[in-house]
Chain A
Amino acid sequence: MLNVKDVKRDFPVLKNRDVIYLDNAATTLTPEPVIQSLSDYYENLGASVHRGIYHLADETTEKYESSRNRVADFIGADSPDEIVFTKNCTEGLNIIAYSLHLWSDMEGKILVTEMDHHSNILPWKFMVDGSERFELEYVDVTKDGVLDIEDYKSKLSSETVAVGFPGISNVLGTVNPVEKITDLAHENDALVIMDGAQWLPHRPFDILEHDLDFLTFSAHKMLGPTGLGVLYGKKELLNRMPPPFGGGEMVLNVTRGEVKWSDPPQKFEPGTTPIAQIVAFGSTLKYLEGLEIAEIEEHVNGLTRRAVNRLSGIPYVNIYGPREGEPRGGLVSFNVEGIHPHDLATALDSLDNIAIRAGLHCAQPLHEVMGLNSSARVSFYVYNASEDVDRFIDAVKEAKKILGGEK
Protein backbone atom coordinates (compact mmCIF):
# COMPACT_ATOMS: atom_id res chain seq x y z
CA MET A 1 0.00 0.00 0.00
CA LEU A 2 1.20 3.45 -0.90
CA ASN A 3 1.64 5.62 2.16
CA VAL A 4 0.17 8.87 0.88
CA LYS A 5 1.26 10.87 3.91
CA ASP A 6 4.89 9.98 3.27
CA VAL A 7 4.59 10.47 -0.45
CA LYS A 8 3.05 13.91 0.01
CA ARG A 9 6.07 15.03 2.00
CA ASP A 10 8.22 14.54 -1.09
CA PHE A 11 6.33 17.24 -2.98
CA PRO A 12 7.37 20.81 -2.12
CA VAL A 13 4.44 22.32 -4.03
CA LEU A 14 2.06 20.63 -1.62
CA LYS A 15 3.84 22.32 1.28
CA ASN A 16 4.09 25.69 -0.41
CA ARG A 17 0.60 25.91 -1.83
CA ASP A 18 -2.78 25.12 -0.41
CA VAL A 19 -4.13 23.01 -3.24
CA ILE A 20 -5.95 19.75 -3.82
CA TYR A 21 -4.47 18.90 -7.14
CA LEU A 22 -6.81 16.78 -9.27
CA ASP A 23 -5.54 17.64 -12.74
CA ASN A 24 -2.88 14.96 -13.01
CA ALA A 25 -3.87 13.82 -16.47
CA ALA A 26 -2.75 17.26 -17.68
CA THR A 27 0.52 17.38 -15.79
CA THR A 28 1.87 16.18 -12.46
CA LEU A 29 3.74 17.77 -9.56
CA THR A 30 7.46 17.27 -9.02
CA PRO A 31 9.02 15.38 -6.11
CA GLU A 32 12.12 16.54 -4.26
CA PRO A 33 14.53 13.91 -5.71
CA VAL A 34 13.68 15.06 -9.25
CA ILE A 35 14.17 18.72 -8.32
CA GLN A 36 17.46 17.71 -6.67
CA SER A 37 18.54 15.94 -9.79
CA LEU A 38 17.80 19.02 -11.91
CA SER A 39 19.80 21.26 -9.59
CA ASP A 40 22.55 18.68 -9.39
CA TYR A 41 22.95 18.95 -13.14
CA TYR A 42 23.12 22.73 -13.00
CA GLU A 43 25.38 22.78 -9.96
CA ASN A 44 27.71 19.87 -10.59
CA LEU A 45 27.49 18.80 -14.20
CA GLY A 46 26.75 20.82 -17.33
CA ALA A 47 28.42 20.03 -20.60
CA SER A 48 27.37 19.17 -24.09
CA VAL A 49 26.85 15.45 -24.26
CA HIS A 50 28.66 13.22 -26.75
CA ARG A 51 30.79 16.14 -27.89
CA GLY A 52 33.12 17.54 -25.28
CA ILE A 53 36.54 15.89 -25.00
CA TYR A 54 36.92 16.51 -21.28
CA HIS A 55 36.00 14.92 -17.96
CA LEU A 56 32.93 16.97 -17.25
CA ALA A 57 31.41 16.12 -20.63
CA ASP A 58 32.23 12.50 -20.06
CA GLU A 59 30.49 12.38 -16.74
CA THR A 60 27.43 14.25 -18.05
CA THR A 61 27.19 11.92 -21.02
CA GLU A 62 27.33 8.93 -18.74
CA LYS A 63 24.44 10.19 -16.60
CA TYR A 64 22.55 11.14 -19.70
CA GLU A 65 22.88 7.75 -21.31
CA SER A 66 22.11 5.97 -18.06
CA SER A 67 18.73 7.75 -18.16
CA ARG A 68 18.16 6.29 -21.58
CA ASN A 69 19.00 2.85 -20.24
CA ARG A 70 16.54 3.34 -17.42
CA VAL A 71 13.78 4.31 -19.84
CA ALA A 72 14.51 1.22 -21.91
CA ASP A 73 14.31 -0.94 -18.77
CA PHE A 74 11.16 0.82 -17.60
CA ILE A 75 9.23 -0.16 -20.73
CA GLY A 76 11.08 -3.41 -21.29
CA ALA A 77 12.71 -2.40 -24.58
CA ASP A 78 15.44 -4.57 -26.07
CA SER A 79 17.93 -1.79 -26.41
CA PRO A 80 18.44 1.86 -25.39
CA ASP A 81 18.95 2.59 -29.09
CA GLU A 82 15.20 2.25 -29.43
CA ILE A 83 14.62 5.19 -27.07
CA VAL A 84 14.46 8.62 -28.71
CA PHE A 85 14.19 11.66 -26.46
CA THR A 86 11.66 14.21 -27.68
CA LYS A 87 10.12 17.41 -26.41
CA ASN A 88 6.91 15.66 -25.34
CA CYS A 89 4.48 12.96 -26.38
CA THR A 90 3.13 15.26 -29.07
CA GLU A 91 6.50 15.66 -30.73
CA GLY A 92 7.02 11.91 -30.74
CA LEU A 93 3.77 11.40 -32.64
CA ASN A 94 4.68 14.18 -35.07
CA ILE A 95 8.07 12.61 -35.74
CA ILE A 96 6.43 9.30 -36.62
CA ALA A 97 3.89 10.92 -38.96
CA TYR A 98 6.44 13.10 -40.75
CA SER A 99 8.89 10.31 -41.04
CA LEU A 100 6.35 7.91 -42.57
CA HIS A 101 5.41 10.72 -44.93
CA LEU A 102 9.04 11.07 -46.01
CA TRP A 103 9.32 7.31 -46.44
CA SER A 104 8.79 7.26 -50.16
CA ASP A 105 7.41 3.77 -50.67
CA MET A 106 4.72 4.19 -48.01
CA GLU A 107 1.18 4.83 -49.06
CA GLY A 108 -2.30 3.93 -47.89
CA LYS A 109 -4.61 4.49 -44.98
CA ILE A 110 -3.91 5.77 -41.49
CA LEU A 111 -6.38 4.71 -38.82
CA VAL A 112 -6.79 6.61 -35.57
CA THR A 113 -9.68 6.53 -33.12
CA GLU A 114 -12.44 8.95 -32.23
CA MET A 115 -11.06 8.94 -28.69
CA ASP A 116 -7.61 10.17 -29.63
CA HIS A 117 -6.09 13.32 -28.21
CA HIS A 118 -5.49 16.06 -30.78
CA SER A 119 -1.80 15.19 -30.61
CA ASN A 120 -2.53 11.82 -32.22
CA ILE A 121 -4.93 13.32 -34.78
CA LEU A 122 -3.41 16.52 -36.06
CA PRO A 123 -0.01 15.14 -37.10
CA TRP A 124 -1.85 12.62 -39.28
CA LYS A 125 -4.24 15.24 -40.57
CA PHE A 126 -1.27 17.37 -41.65
CA MET A 127 0.23 14.30 -43.27
CA VAL A 128 -2.84 13.38 -45.34
CA ASP A 129 -4.09 16.86 -46.24
CA GLY A 130 -3.22 17.46 -49.86
CA SER A 131 -1.44 14.13 -50.08
CA GLU A 132 -2.24 11.65 -52.80
CA ARG A 133 -0.52 8.84 -50.93
CA PHE A 134 -2.36 8.91 -47.62
CA GLU A 135 -5.88 8.91 -46.23
CA LEU A 136 -7.10 9.21 -42.65
CA GLU A 137 -9.98 7.28 -41.07
CA TYR A 138 -11.37 7.20 -37.54
CA VAL A 139 -12.39 4.08 -35.62
CA ASP A 140 -15.72 4.58 -33.83
CA VAL A 141 -16.24 4.74 -30.10
CA THR A 142 -19.35 2.96 -28.78
CA LYS A 143 -22.00 4.52 -26.53
CA ASP A 144 -20.30 2.82 -23.60
CA GLY A 145 -17.14 4.75 -24.33
CA VAL A 146 -15.05 1.84 -25.56
CA LEU A 147 -13.44 1.23 -28.91
CA ASP A 148 -15.77 -0.41 -31.42
CA ILE A 149 -13.67 -3.43 -32.32
CA GLU A 150 -16.04 -4.52 -35.09
CA ASP A 151 -15.73 -1.10 -36.68
CA TYR A 152 -11.96 -1.33 -36.29
CA LYS A 153 -11.90 -4.71 -38.03
CA SER A 154 -14.04 -3.41 -40.86
CA LYS A 155 -11.79 -0.41 -41.43
CA LEU A 156 -8.56 -2.40 -41.30
CA SER A 157 -7.28 -3.80 -44.56
CA SER A 158 -4.11 -4.48 -46.50
CA GLU A 159 -4.28 -0.78 -47.44
CA THR A 160 -3.75 0.25 -43.83
CA VAL A 161 -0.28 1.66 -43.25
CA ALA A 162 -0.52 2.53 -39.60
CA VAL A 163 -2.91 2.40 -36.65
CA GLY A 164 -2.73 4.97 -33.85
CA PHE A 165 -4.62 4.76 -30.57
CA PRO A 166 -4.41 5.97 -26.98
CA GLY A 167 -3.49 3.28 -24.44
CA ILE A 168 -5.84 5.07 -22.08
CA SER A 169 -8.23 7.81 -23.19
CA ASN A 170 -7.58 11.12 -21.46
CA VAL A 171 -11.32 11.90 -21.43
CA LEU A 172 -13.13 8.59 -21.04
CA GLY A 173 -10.47 6.80 -19.03
CA THR A 174 -11.04 3.79 -21.27
CA VAL A 175 -8.22 1.25 -21.12
CA ASN A 176 -7.83 -0.02 -24.65
CA PRO A 177 -7.13 -3.68 -25.50
CA VAL A 178 -3.56 -3.15 -26.64
CA GLU A 179 -2.91 -6.72 -27.64
CA LYS A 180 -6.07 -7.14 -29.67
CA ILE A 181 -5.53 -3.85 -31.49
CA THR A 182 -1.90 -4.72 -32.20
CA ASP A 183 -2.53 -8.29 -33.33
CA LEU A 184 -5.28 -7.27 -35.73
CA ALA A 185 -3.11 -4.50 -37.18
CA HIS A 186 -0.15 -6.82 -37.63
CA GLU A 187 -2.31 -9.39 -39.40
CA ASN A 188 -2.78 -6.63 -41.97
CA ASP A 189 0.90 -5.64 -41.94
CA ALA A 190 0.06 -2.24 -40.47
CA LEU A 191 2.35 -0.45 -38.05
CA VAL A 192 0.98 0.17 -34.57
CA ILE A 193 1.50 3.37 -32.62
CA MET A 194 0.33 3.68 -29.05
CA ASP A 195 -0.03 7.08 -27.43
CA GLY A 196 1.05 6.09 -23.94
CA ALA A 197 0.68 9.51 -22.29
CA GLN A 198 -1.99 8.29 -19.86
CA TRP A 199 -0.76 4.73 -19.49
CA LEU A 200 2.89 4.95 -18.55
CA PRO A 201 2.36 7.06 -15.39
CA HIS A 202 -0.06 4.53 -13.91
CA ARG A 203 0.41 1.01 -15.10
CA PRO A 204 3.19 -1.44 -15.65
CA PHE A 205 4.01 -1.77 -19.31
CA ASP A 206 6.10 -4.23 -21.25
CA ILE A 207 6.68 -3.25 -24.81
CA LEU A 208 7.77 -6.68 -25.97
CA GLU A 209 4.74 -8.37 -24.53
CA HIS A 210 2.57 -6.05 -26.60
CA ASP A 211 4.75 -6.02 -29.71
CA LEU A 212 4.03 -2.35 -30.43
CA ASP A 213 5.98 -0.72 -33.23
CA PHE A 214 5.95 2.72 -31.62
CA LEU A 215 5.12 4.13 -28.22
CA THR A 216 5.17 7.76 -27.10
CA PHE A 217 4.79 9.44 -23.72
CA SER A 218 5.62 12.57 -21.72
CA ALA A 219 7.85 12.90 -18.66
CA HIS A 220 5.81 15.69 -17.10
CA LYS A 221 2.76 13.46 -16.68
CA MET A 222 4.71 11.03 -14.50
CA LEU A 223 6.42 13.30 -11.96
CA GLY A 224 9.22 14.16 -14.38
CA PRO A 225 10.49 17.46 -15.72
CA THR A 226 8.68 19.47 -18.38
CA GLY A 227 10.03 19.71 -21.91
CA LEU A 228 10.77 16.02 -22.28
CA GLY A 229 9.09 13.08 -23.92
CA VAL A 230 9.99 9.63 -25.17
CA LEU A 231 9.51 7.98 -28.51
CA TYR A 232 10.11 4.25 -28.56
CA GLY A 233 10.47 2.68 -31.99
CA LYS A 234 11.47 -0.82 -33.03
CA LYS A 235 15.08 -0.75 -34.05
CA GLU A 236 14.62 -1.96 -37.59
CA LEU A 237 12.00 0.74 -38.15
CA LEU A 238 14.08 3.54 -36.67
CA ASN A 239 16.95 2.35 -38.84
CA ARG A 240 14.92 2.67 -41.99
CA MET A 241 12.92 5.80 -41.20
CA PRO A 242 14.08 9.10 -42.67
CA PRO A 243 14.53 11.75 -39.94
CA PRO A 244 12.14 14.71 -40.27
CA PHE A 245 14.52 17.27 -38.74
CA GLY A 246 18.14 18.01 -39.45
CA GLY A 247 20.88 19.55 -37.36
CA GLY A 248 23.94 18.90 -35.29
CA GLU A 249 24.76 15.50 -33.79
CA MET A 250 22.52 13.51 -36.08
CA VAL A 251 24.90 12.91 -38.93
CA LEU A 252 28.03 10.85 -39.36
CA ASN A 253 29.18 12.57 -42.45
CA VAL A 254 28.11 15.76 -44.20
CA THR A 255 29.47 17.04 -47.46
CA ARG A 256 27.77 19.60 -49.62
CA GLY A 257 26.28 16.91 -51.73
CA GLU A 258 25.67 14.06 -49.38
CA VAL A 259 24.55 13.31 -45.86
CA LYS A 260 24.93 10.11 -43.91
CA TRP A 261 22.68 9.91 -40.85
CA SER A 262 23.87 8.79 -37.46
CA ASP A 263 22.36 5.59 -36.16
CA PRO A 264 19.19 5.84 -34.09
CA PRO A 265 18.43 7.27 -31.63
CA GLN A 266 20.80 10.19 -32.44
CA LYS A 267 19.35 10.34 -35.94
CA PHE A 268 16.11 11.67 -34.42
CA GLU A 269 17.70 13.97 -31.84
CA PRO A 270 19.22 16.85 -33.77
CA GLY A 271 20.72 19.75 -31.86
CA THR A 272 21.27 20.06 -28.12
CA THR A 273 18.64 18.10 -26.24
CA PRO A 274 17.18 18.99 -22.81
CA ILE A 275 20.15 17.49 -21.01
CA ALA A 276 19.19 18.46 -17.46
CA GLN A 277 15.68 17.13 -17.94
CA ILE A 278 16.91 13.86 -19.41
CA VAL A 279 19.28 13.35 -16.48
CA ALA A 280 16.45 14.18 -14.05
CA PHE A 281 14.09 11.79 -15.81
CA GLY A 282 16.42 8.98 -14.77
CA SER A 283 15.82 10.04 -11.16
CA THR A 284 12.10 10.26 -11.85
CA LEU A 285 11.93 6.64 -12.97
CA LYS A 286 14.00 5.61 -9.96
CA TYR A 287 11.50 7.40 -7.74
CA LEU A 288 8.50 5.77 -9.45
CA GLU A 289 10.12 2.35 -9.23
CA GLY A 290 10.75 3.01 -5.56
CA LEU A 291 7.01 3.50 -5.08
CA GLU A 292 6.37 0.53 -7.41
CA ILE A 293 4.22 1.01 -10.44
CA ALA A 294 1.86 -1.80 -9.45
CA GLU A 295 1.27 -0.06 -6.12
CA ILE A 296 0.64 3.23 -7.90
CA GLU A 297 -1.89 1.51 -10.13
CA GLU A 298 -3.71 0.04 -7.16
CA HIS A 299 -3.73 3.33 -5.28
CA VAL A 300 -4.99 5.36 -8.24
CA ASN A 301 -7.61 2.71 -9.06
CA GLY A 302 -8.89 2.95 -5.51
CA LEU A 303 -9.28 6.72 -5.72
CA THR A 304 -10.92 6.50 -9.12
CA ARG A 305 -13.40 3.88 -7.94
CA ARG A 306 -14.25 6.07 -4.98
CA ALA A 307 -14.82 9.08 -7.22
CA VAL A 308 -16.97 7.08 -9.65
CA ASN A 309 -19.01 5.59 -6.82
CA ARG A 310 -19.61 8.86 -5.07
CA LEU A 311 -20.34 10.82 -8.25
CA SER A 312 -22.78 8.10 -9.37
CA GLY A 313 -24.69 8.65 -6.17
CA ILE A 314 -25.43 12.27 -7.06
CA PRO A 315 -28.59 12.50 -9.19
CA TYR A 316 -27.59 15.66 -11.07
CA VAL A 317 -24.14 14.37 -12.10
CA ASN A 318 -23.51 12.56 -15.40
CA ILE A 319 -20.35 10.47 -15.69
CA TYR A 320 -18.74 9.53 -18.99
CA GLY A 321 -16.61 6.57 -19.94
CA PRO A 322 -16.71 2.82 -19.35
CA ARG A 323 -19.42 1.35 -17.16
CA GLU A 324 -18.68 0.62 -13.53
CA GLY A 325 -16.58 -2.49 -13.16
CA GLU A 326 -14.91 -2.04 -16.56
CA PRO A 327 -11.23 -1.10 -16.52
CA ARG A 328 -10.65 2.63 -16.19
CA GLY A 329 -7.53 4.79 -16.01
CA GLY A 330 -7.10 7.21 -13.14
CA LEU A 331 -9.59 9.80 -14.28
CA VAL A 332 -13.30 10.60 -14.42
CA SER A 333 -14.97 13.05 -16.78
CA PHE A 334 -18.42 14.28 -15.86
CA ASN A 335 -20.90 17.12 -15.98
CA VAL A 336 -23.10 18.65 -13.32
CA GLU A 337 -26.52 19.39 -14.75
CA GLY A 338 -27.16 23.10 -15.04
CA ILE A 339 -23.57 24.10 -14.36
CA HIS A 340 -21.10 24.85 -17.09
CA PRO A 341 -17.85 22.91 -16.49
CA HIS A 342 -15.84 26.14 -16.50
CA ASP A 343 -18.06 27.51 -13.76
CA LEU A 344 -17.68 24.28 -11.82
CA ALA A 345 -13.87 24.51 -12.09
CA THR A 346 -13.92 28.12 -10.89
CA ALA A 347 -16.29 27.17 -8.08
CA LEU A 348 -14.18 24.25 -6.80
CA ASP A 349 -11.11 26.45 -6.94
CA SER A 350 -12.80 29.24 -4.96
CA LEU A 351 -14.55 26.97 -2.47
CA ASP A 352 -11.73 24.65 -1.48
CA ASN A 353 -8.67 25.21 -3.71
CA ILE A 354 -9.51 22.14 -5.73
CA ALA A 355 -7.84 22.09 -9.15
CA ILE A 356 -9.79 20.23 -11.83
CA ARG A 357 -9.82 20.42 -15.62
CA ALA A 358 -12.74 21.76 -17.64
CA GLY A 359 -13.20 22.10 -21.35
CA LEU A 360 -12.52 19.80 -24.26
CA HIS A 361 -9.28 18.26 -22.94
CA CYS A 362 -7.77 18.49 -26.44
CA ALA A 363 -10.28 15.92 -27.66
CA GLN A 364 -12.86 17.85 -29.64
CA PRO A 365 -13.83 15.05 -32.05
CA LEU A 366 -14.62 12.83 -29.06
CA HIS A 367 -16.81 15.48 -27.44
CA GLU A 368 -18.66 15.80 -30.73
CA VAL A 369 -19.31 12.06 -30.75
CA MET A 370 -20.48 12.24 -27.14
CA GLY A 371 -22.76 15.16 -28.02
CA LEU A 372 -21.10 17.45 -25.46
CA ASN A 373 -19.92 21.04 -25.60
CA SER A 374 -17.40 20.34 -22.87
CA SER A 375 -16.85 18.38 -19.68
CA ALA A 376 -15.15 18.53 -16.30
CA ARG A 377 -12.46 16.03 -15.33
CA VAL A 378 -10.72 14.88 -12.17
CA SER A 379 -7.58 12.77 -12.38
CA PHE A 380 -5.53 11.23 -9.60
CA TYR A 381 -1.97 10.39 -8.74
CA VAL A 382 0.35 9.24 -6.00
CA TYR A 383 -0.09 12.21 -3.64
CA ASN A 384 -3.90 12.19 -3.68
CA ALA A 385 -5.70 10.72 -0.71
CA SER A 386 -9.27 9.47 -0.41
CA GLU A 387 -9.95 12.60 1.64
CA ASP A 388 -9.23 14.63 -1.51
CA VAL A 389 -11.99 12.74 -3.30
CA ASP A 390 -14.39 13.43 -0.44
CA ARG A 391 -13.59 17.12 -0.34
CA PHE A 392 -14.07 17.27 -4.09
CA ILE A 393 -17.49 15.64 -3.76
CA ASP A 394 -18.50 18.06 -0.98
CA ALA A 395 -17.42 21.00 -3.11
CA VAL A 396 -19.43 19.74 -6.10
CA LYS A 397 -22.55 19.65 -3.93
CA GLU A 398 -21.80 23.09 -2.53
CA ALA A 399 -21.27 24.50 -6.04
CA LYS A 400 -24.60 23.07 -7.13
CA LYS A 401 -26.28 24.85 -4.23
CA ILE A 402 -24.69 28.18 -5.07
CA LEU A 403 -24.81 28.12 -8.86
CA GLY A 404 -28.04 26.20 -8.99
CA GLY A 405 -29.82 25.35 -12.16
CA GLU A 406 -29.64 27.17 -15.45
CA LYS A 407 -32.39 29.56 -16.39
Chain B
Amino acid sequence: MKDKPKIYNQDVLHHYQNPYNKGKLDDPDFSVTEENPNCGDRITLQLKLKGDEISKVKFDGHGCVLSIGAASILTQMVRGLSVGEASELTLDDLVDNMGNPPKMRRNCVSLSLDALKDALSEW
Protein backbone atom coordinates (compact mmCIF):
# COMPACT_ATOMS: atom_id res chain seq x y z
CA MET B 1 0.00 0.00 0.00
CA LYS B 2 1.24 3.46 -0.91
CA ASP B 3 2.31 6.04 1.59
CA LYS B 4 -0.86 8.04 1.91
CA PRO B 5 -1.98 10.81 4.24
CA LYS B 6 -3.37 9.76 7.61
CA ILE B 7 -7.05 8.90 7.51
CA TYR B 8 -7.88 11.39 10.21
CA ASN B 9 -6.06 13.93 12.28
CA GLN B 10 -4.62 12.06 15.28
CA ASP B 11 -6.29 14.45 17.74
CA VAL B 12 -9.69 13.73 16.27
CA LEU B 13 -9.08 10.01 16.41
CA HIS B 14 -7.97 10.38 20.01
CA HIS B 15 -11.15 12.30 20.85
CA TYR B 16 -13.19 9.55 19.21
CA GLN B 17 -11.44 6.78 21.08
CA ASN B 18 -11.41 8.66 24.40
CA PRO B 19 -14.21 11.19 24.20
CA TYR B 20 -14.37 14.05 26.70
CA ASN B 21 -17.61 14.97 28.44
CA LYS B 22 -19.44 11.86 27.31
CA GLY B 23 -22.51 10.97 29.32
CA LYS B 24 -25.54 12.68 30.79
CA LEU B 25 -26.09 15.66 33.08
CA ASP B 26 -28.31 15.24 36.13
CA ASP B 27 -30.46 18.29 35.62
CA PRO B 28 -29.60 19.97 32.33
CA ASP B 29 -31.11 23.32 31.41
CA PHE B 30 -31.10 22.26 27.78
CA SER B 31 -31.06 18.89 26.11
CA VAL B 32 -31.19 18.65 22.35
CA THR B 33 -30.87 15.59 20.12
CA GLU B 34 -29.76 15.81 16.51
CA GLU B 35 -29.84 12.97 14.05
CA ASN B 36 -28.31 12.51 10.63
CA PRO B 37 -30.82 10.44 8.67
CA ASN B 38 -28.16 9.58 6.10
CA CYS B 39 -26.18 7.42 8.43
CA GLY B 40 -28.22 7.09 11.60
CA ASP B 41 -25.74 9.08 13.70
CA ARG B 42 -27.35 10.60 16.75
CA ILE B 43 -25.95 13.07 19.27
CA THR B 44 -27.65 14.44 22.37
CA LEU B 45 -26.07 17.58 23.76
CA GLN B 46 -26.88 18.78 27.28
CA LEU B 47 -26.03 22.15 28.82
CA LYS B 48 -26.17 23.58 32.32
CA LEU B 49 -25.96 27.35 32.72
CA LYS B 50 -24.78 29.53 35.56
CA GLY B 51 -26.16 32.98 34.75
CA ASP B 52 -25.42 33.24 31.08
CA GLU B 53 -22.29 31.12 31.26
CA ILE B 54 -22.16 27.50 30.11
CA SER B 55 -21.00 25.81 33.29
CA LYS B 56 -21.48 22.16 32.38
CA VAL B 57 -21.81 20.34 29.10
CA LYS B 58 -22.11 16.70 28.14
CA PHE B 59 -22.93 14.75 25.04
CA ASP B 60 -24.12 11.24 24.40
CA GLY B 61 -24.95 9.16 21.35
CA HIS B 62 -23.38 7.11 18.64
CA GLY B 63 -21.74 7.90 15.36
CA CYS B 64 -18.62 8.00 13.26
CA VAL B 65 -15.17 9.29 14.16
CA LEU B 66 -16.05 12.75 12.90
CA SER B 67 -19.40 13.19 14.64
CA ILE B 68 -18.15 11.79 17.97
CA GLY B 69 -14.76 13.50 17.66
CA ALA B 70 -16.42 16.82 16.85
CA ALA B 71 -18.83 16.50 19.76
CA SER B 72 -15.98 15.84 22.16
CA ILE B 73 -13.97 18.79 20.82
CA LEU B 74 -17.00 21.06 20.83
CA THR B 75 -17.84 20.33 24.45
CA GLN B 76 -14.32 21.37 25.36
CA MET B 77 -14.62 24.54 23.32
CA VAL B 78 -17.90 25.75 24.80
CA ARG B 79 -17.41 25.16 28.50
CA GLY B 80 -16.98 28.53 30.21
CA LEU B 81 -18.25 30.51 27.24
CA SER B 82 -21.19 32.88 27.55
CA VAL B 83 -24.31 32.03 25.62
CA GLY B 84 -23.50 34.94 23.27
CA GLU B 85 -19.99 33.67 22.61
CA ALA B 86 -21.10 30.10 22.10
CA SER B 87 -23.82 31.21 19.68
CA GLU B 88 -21.19 32.78 17.48
CA LEU B 89 -19.21 29.56 17.02
CA THR B 90 -19.21 28.48 13.38
CA LEU B 91 -18.58 25.25 11.55
CA ASP B 92 -15.27 26.71 10.41
CA ASP B 93 -14.20 27.21 14.05
CA LEU B 94 -14.91 23.57 14.71
CA VAL B 95 -13.31 22.34 11.48
CA ASP B 96 -10.18 24.39 12.25
CA ASN B 97 -9.82 22.40 15.43
CA MET B 98 -10.10 19.11 13.57
CA GLY B 99 -7.35 19.26 10.99
CA ASN B 100 -9.53 19.77 7.93
CA PRO B 101 -11.73 16.65 7.68
CA PRO B 102 -13.05 15.70 4.20
CA LYS B 103 -15.53 18.24 2.78
CA MET B 104 -18.01 15.49 1.92
CA ARG B 105 -18.27 14.72 5.60
CA ARG B 106 -19.04 18.18 6.99
CA ASN B 107 -22.53 17.13 8.02
CA CYS B 108 -20.95 14.60 10.38
CA VAL B 109 -18.92 17.41 11.96
CA SER B 110 -21.88 19.75 12.25
CA LEU B 111 -24.20 17.37 14.11
CA SER B 112 -23.18 18.47 17.61
CA LEU B 113 -22.87 22.11 16.54
CA ASP B 114 -26.44 21.99 15.22
CA ALA B 115 -27.54 20.62 18.59
CA LEU B 116 -25.72 23.46 20.35
CA LYS B 117 -27.34 26.10 18.13
CA ASP B 118 -30.75 24.57 18.67
CA ALA B 119 -30.26 24.53 22.42
CA LEU B 120 -29.05 28.13 22.59
CA SER B 121 -31.83 29.38 20.35
CA GLU B 122 -34.23 28.33 23.10
CA TRP B 123 -32.45 30.56 25.62
How many A-B pairs have beta carbons closer than 8 Å: the answer is 64
A404 to chain B, nearest CB (A): 7
Q: Does A277 have its Cβ within 8 Å of any Cβ on chain B?
A: no
Q: Does A106 have its Cβ within 8 Å of any Cβ on chain B?
A: no
* Interface residue tally for chain B (C-beta within 8 Å): 25
- Chain B residues with CB under 8 A of A391: 1
Q: Does B105 have its Cβ within 8 Å of any Cβ on chain A?
A: yes
A360 touches B1 (CB 8 A): no
Q: Does A359 have its Cβ within 8 Å of any Cβ on chain B?
A: yes
Interface digits, B62-87 against A, CB 8 Å rule (1 contact, 0 not)?
Answer: 11111000000000000000000000
Q: What is the chain B residue whose CB lies nearest that of A395?
A: B1
- Chain B residues with CB under 8 A of A372: 40
Known: A340-B39, A358-B39, A373-B39. A346 touches B17 (CB 8 A): no
- Chain B residues with CB under 8 A of A394: 1
CA distance A348 to B19 in the complex (A): 24
Specify which of A360, A395, A399, A403 is in contact with B39 (CB 8 Å cutoff): A360
A:382-407 near B, CB below 8 Å: 391, 394-395, 398-399, 402-404, 407
Q: Does B108 have its Cβ within 8 Å of any Cβ on chain A?
A: yes
CA distance A391 to B8 in the complex (A): 20
- Chain A residues with CB under 8 A of B37: 360, 364
Known: A360-B39, A395-B1. A340 touches B17 (CB 8 A): no
Q: Does A228 have its Cβ within 8 Å of any Cβ on chain B?
A: no
Specify which of B6, B63, B108 is in contact with A350 (CB 8 Å cutoff): B6
B1 touches A407 (CB 8 A): no
A350 touches B39 (CB 8 A): no
Q: Does A180 have its Cβ within 8 Å of any Cβ on chain B?
A: no
- Chain B residues with CB under 8 A of A347: 7
B57 to chain A, nearest CB (A): 19
A352 touches B40 (CB 8 A): no
Q: Does B118 have its Cβ within 8 Å of any Cβ on chain A?
A: no
B:45-102 near A, CB below 8 Å: 62-66, 102
B38 touches A359 (CB 8 A): yes
Chain B contact residues, CB within 8 Å of chain A: 1-2, 4-8, 13, 16-19, 37-41, 62-66, 102, 105, 108
